[in-house]
Chains A and B, each alone.
Chain A
Amino acid sequence: MTGPPNTPSLEEAMAAAQRGDARAEELLAGEVRSLARIVCTKGQVPEMGGLDWEDVSQEASQRLFRVGLSRYRGDGSARSYLYSIVKVTMLQLMRSATRRRAREQVVSDEEAASFSPAGKGEESSTMERVSVRQILGALAPECQELIEAMFLNGATYRQIAEETGLAESSVRSKLSRCLRRAREQAR
């Protein structure tokens, strides 16, 4: 069996994609897709149940082209880099799913006290010390929720905008105002 003649490696494809080469981007998207499929179908992560590899693939590609590509400096293995992006994406999606379930749970039983913003509330009671909620206690509930969502839950501006119906720019400026207010109160 023989392979085709020498062609660009993944590293070269990354460099070309950084220059805006559409063909290279296509190749990278294909590689991400392959890795997502491999990891999702062959990974041994029990909590992965229900996670669709195509969702992972799509999200990972977006992450790659939105941020990851610009951060790749070409001095390491491109495949390992892409693989890391796929793993991060997968775990992020798993966390999001957990958060969603936690939110639904809270809504259904109204046991807000057991709700952890990160969606993993079981360990909260074992941790003490000052909490962010205490620190932000004097803020308007709206501000508290926004700060928690953005900094503790890892929500994006776009997600908050979609949830609240506000423009993304409004969410940005609102968060800035809330943060400044919180800091002023802390002084």
Chain B
Amino acid sequence: MNKQDNPPTRSGDHPIDEIADYLDRRLSLDREREIAQHLNACIECADDFAYAQDLIDVALRSGETHIRVDRLVEITENLQAEFTVPEWDHFQICPSCQAEAANLQRFPDPADLIGGDSIAASSSNQGEVAPGPKRAKPKNRRSTATEPKGHTLTPSEPHWPQDEIDPRSDTDESLGSRILGWLFPKGLIWVGSGAGAVLLLFMILPGANDTAPLAQIAPIAITVPRSVPEAGSFGERLSRGLESYVAGNYEAAEVAFALAREVDSSHVEAALLQGSCQLLQGETDEAVLTLEVASKLADTPEQFAEANWQLANALLLTKNEAGARTLLTEISGQEGTRQAAAKAILAALDE
């Protein structure tokens, strides 16, 4: 029997009216599989879908379209993902896609952001961004894009979503891997960013005023709980902040503490540590505001002393010597871990 006479579809309909969603991976996985099964059995639909895919490939090569965003994300995240030949042809001559791919590399890694898992470290869903079935390494396959007027996929030649082989990945080698080497010197970006931040801090601090060199900016000693708090909860956000803080990623920690404070605005430690992060990043004005809040919220002598100590240092950096003196005098009058340091700064100020 001719397959086309009785294609096994969900409802007997041809899925041609879902073609754009299918090619753009905007369908649910179940529906995508149903369509793939249909394409495997229905020549007419397979022709239509292949023709549409060929149009896209031609457009890629002629510059009339660009590589889909989810594909760029997939390829930049996953060394196993590969450009198809038309995508690669396009990429080589398209500055816009190159720029977007480079931008993608500038997005912080989740591990850097939140002290959590890393995209690079997790492979299972990397290829599924906007999703798509997990794919095996693409097989070599003749490019179809040079034949825009005829279909090239036949029912016996599985379409990509069906059996985990993407026909668009008709590459001879790992092109994704290839470009990553020359286009995205990620390590350099991060090292450069870090060095820039440090340099900026050194440029800002001495220039602020004469009291700035007296400031003692250092992370607060903390411990990170081992529990796994509920996703999205205050505890989880705080934990992320603590992890990033301990790891020295104050930028990510600051965001995490800020998010935690969105849930509980009266949490002393979240405010204190957010202020500390800001201070450590040279965001002195923001640090003053945050640490003032922390100081007001403090409900134990230790919290109060630490908040005031951090605030005093922030004030030293913002030309507010009087404010810093007041706080340092208060700290130096009470026994505590910051007492000696406060006295030393006061003595230096007097000189």
Contact = CB atoms under 8 A, between A and B. Distances in A.
A132 B64 contact: yes
B62 A150 contact: no
Contacts of A131: 58-59, 62, 64
Nearest to A172: B17
Contact of B125 (A37, A72, A123, A148): A72
B206 interface: no
B20 A156 contact: yes
Interface string B56-99: 10110111111011101110010000000000001001111001
A49 interface: no
Given A45-B103, A67-B25, A31 B122 contact: no
Contacts of B148: 130, 132, 135, 186
Given A42-B252, A157-B20, A127 B125 contact: no
A43 interface: yes
A126 to B, nearest CB: 6
Contacts, number: 279
B255 A42 contact: yes
Contact of A186 (B51, B100, B117): B51
A130 B238 CA distance: 56
A132 B86 CA distance: 14
A116 interface: yes
A122 interface: yes
Contact of A133 (B64, B93, B94, B255): B64
Contacts of A76: 122-126, 128
Interface string B95-131: 1100110011011101001101111011111101111
A183 B53 CA distance: 12
A70 B26 CA distance: 11
A179 interface: yes
Interface in B193-233: 193, 222-225, 227-233
Given A34-B232, A67-B27, A152 B225 contact: no
B346 to A, nearest CB: 31
Given A81-B125, A84-B119, A118-B96, 15 more contacts: A70-B29, A72-B128, A84-B73, A84-B74, A84-B125, A87-B107, A127-B90, A128-B62, A131-B64, A147-B55, A151-B59, A152-B56, A152-B65, A156-B26, A172-B18
Interface of A: 1-10, 13, 26-28, 30-31, 34-35, 37-39, 41-47, 63, 66-68, 70-73, 75-77, 79-81, 83-85, 87-88, 91-92, 95, 116-118, 120, 122-124, 126-133, 135-136, 147-148, 150-157, 169, 172-173, 175-176, 179-180, 182-183, 186-187
